[in-house]
A and B are shown apart, each in its own frame.
Chain A
Amino acid sequence: GAGVSQSPSNKVTEKGKDVELRCDPISGHTALYWYRQSLGQGLEFLIYFQGNSAPDKSGLPSDRFSAERTGGSVSTLTIQRTQQEDSAVYLCASSPEGNSNQPQHFGDGTRLSIL
């Protein structure tokens, strides 16, 4: 069966540009998470969507970061006015329900490089 799909797999852009990263979760999964993985820093939680509830945005590092999830399925993470410190791998995960004992299923990530 299809897993979590992320696009693009790689993105190179110039400092100051806006970027959009896409995540297509496993069908039927109500919970969707975004993480940032920087070298040697582990996984940093960014944002969490659960069904139609208001998202938990507590992990977003600045107001340049935003995310939306349309129709309870596909999600887009947007970074405005990118900075070099935004370079990282952005991982998306989904699970059947949020914050339960069920494991999260991860996509292969988008590797973002800011020149």
Chain B
Amino acid sequence: AQSVAQPEDQVNVAEGNPLTVKCTYSVSGNPYLFWYVQYPNRGLQFLLKYITGDNLVKGSYGFEAEFNKSQTSFHLKKPSALVSDSALYFCAVRDNSGYSTLTFGKGTMLLVSP
């Protein structure tokens, strides 16, 4: 079975400071990893993904994530937070061996204060 954990329900950061939203995963094979963002009353928007290759993945809106196989983590980061980054963030994983659907974490609310 595959699973995703987002240990923080909420992350608070001041505008201009770096932000990190944590994600750990569990799969039996190798992972495909994704980050999505959800703004109020909207669907999820794709931010970035890790499939293979470089452990540091760069995505939309200045976000990046680092794949760490030994720690089974895929934390989302941004060097300088904006108030407009305030939203709900979801990490998701799929085992790339065999058939499986995408499993999402429960989401982390990011609040960036002015």
Q: Taking beta carbons and an 8 Å cutoff, which residues of A are in contact with B?
A: 4, 33, 35, 40-43, 45, 48, 56, 59, 91, 93, 99, 101, 103-109, 111
By the criterion CB–CB under 8 Å, are A42 and B44 in contact? Answer: no
Q: Give the top 5 A-B pairs by smallest Cβ distance, nearest first.
A: A106-B43, A42-B106, A103-B46, A43-B104, A106-B44
Query: Which residues from chain B contact A104 at a C-beta distance below 8 Å?
Result: 44, 46, 102
Knowing A42-B90, A45-B102, A99-B101, the reply to whether A105 touches B46 (Cβ < 8 A) is yes
What 0/1 readout, one digit per residue, does chain B (70-101) give for beta carbons within 8 Å of chain A? 00000000000000000000100010100111
Q: Taking beta carbons and an 8 Å cutoff, which residues of B are in contact with A?
A: 9, 32, 34, 36, 41-46, 49, 51, 90, 94, 96, 99-107
Contact of A109 among B43, B45, B99, B103 (CB under 8 A): B43
By the criterion CB–CB under 8 Å, are B107 and A42 in contact? Answer: yes
**In the complex the two chains form, what is the Cα distance from A111 to B100 in whole Å?**
27
15 contacts between A and B (CB under 8 A): A4-B43, A33-B102, A40-B106, A42-B104, A42-B105, A42-B107, A43-B44, A56-B101, A59-B101, A99-B100, A101-B51, A104-B44, A104-B102, A108-B41, A108-B42
**In the complex the two chains form, what is the Cα distance from A101 to B103 in whole Å?**
13
- B99, closest chain A residue (CB): A99
Knowing A106-B45, A108-B41, the reply to whether A33 touches B106 (Cβ < 8 A) is no
Query: Which residues from chain B contact A33 at a C-beta distance below 8 Å?
Result: 101-102
Contact of A101 among B32, B36, B106 (CB under 8 A): B32
Query: Which residues from chain B contact A91 at a C-beta distance below 8 Å?
Result: 43-44
Knowing A42-B90, A107-B43, the reply to whether A101 touches B49 (Cβ < 8 A) is yes
Query: Which residues from chain A contact B103 at a C-beta distance below 8 Å?
Result: 45
A76 to chain B, nearest CB (A): 18
A4 to chain B, nearest CB (A): 7
**In the complex the two chains form, what is the Cα distance from A4 to B46 in whole Å?**
13
Query: Which residues from chain A contact B32 at a C-beta distance below 8 Å?
Result: 101
Query: Which residues from chain A contact B43 at a C-beta distance below 8 Å?
Result: 4, 91, 93, 106-109
**In the complex the two chains form, what is the Cα distance from A99 to B46 in whole Å?**
15
**In the complex the two chains form, what is the Cα distance from A112 to B109 in whole Å?**
22
